[in-house]
Amino acid sequence: MLKVENQIVTLLIQMAHMHQPLNATEALHLANDLTEGNEIQEEVITWKKKHLHYKEETDKNKVTRMLECGCWNGFMRRNGHLIVCKRGQKFAMDRDTWSTYHNFVDMYNAVYGGMEEA
């Protein structure tokens, strides 16, 4: 996973800048989606089979789930200086700055013009 950690860190930081921060579960889903079908997925599955001693028949789902909470903890240990984890916050302050008379007039004019054309 070290090959794609920089990309994941960049995506997580960008999502936070867009006021759409991801929690640990969502970040793991993102990482799994990024690695699905790649050679990295095969490397992770091979590593898990070798080091975690899964039985082929009974623990097949555990191997294919790829990244789990332990992976997130290790990821945060390596990249904790780049990513800040904190409680969720509300972004209602943006509504106050956007909700001006001028913005509503512009929105009304844009929607009304589109409705006339339709």
Whether the model pTM is above 0.75 = no
pLDDT value of residue 90 = 61
100-109 pLDDT per residue, tens: 888 888 888 8
Average of per-residue pLDDT values in the chain = 76
More reliable by pLDDT, 63 or 37: 37
pLDDT in the model for residue 88: 62
Rounded to whole angstroms, the Cα distance separating 2 from 75 reads: 9
Does any domain span residue 102? no
45 within domain boundaries: yes
Domain assignment of residue 56, yes or no: yes
In a domain? residue 57:
yes
Q: How many domains does the chain have?
A: 1
Instruction: Determine, yes or no, domain membership for 9.
Output: yes
For residue range 60-91, list pLDDT tens digits in order: 555 455 667 677 788 888 888 888 776 666 65
Task: Provide the residue range defining the domain that includes 12.
Answer: 5-88
Decide if 44 is inside a domain. yes
pLDDT at residue 44 in the model: 77
DSSP letter string over 40-79?
HHHHHHHHHHHHS---TTTTHHHHHT---HHHHHHHHHHH
- pLDDT for res 63: 47
60 vs 5, residue with greater confidence:
5
Asked if the structure places residue 93 within a domain, the reply is no
* Predicted pLDDT of residue 25: 85
* 96 inside domain: no
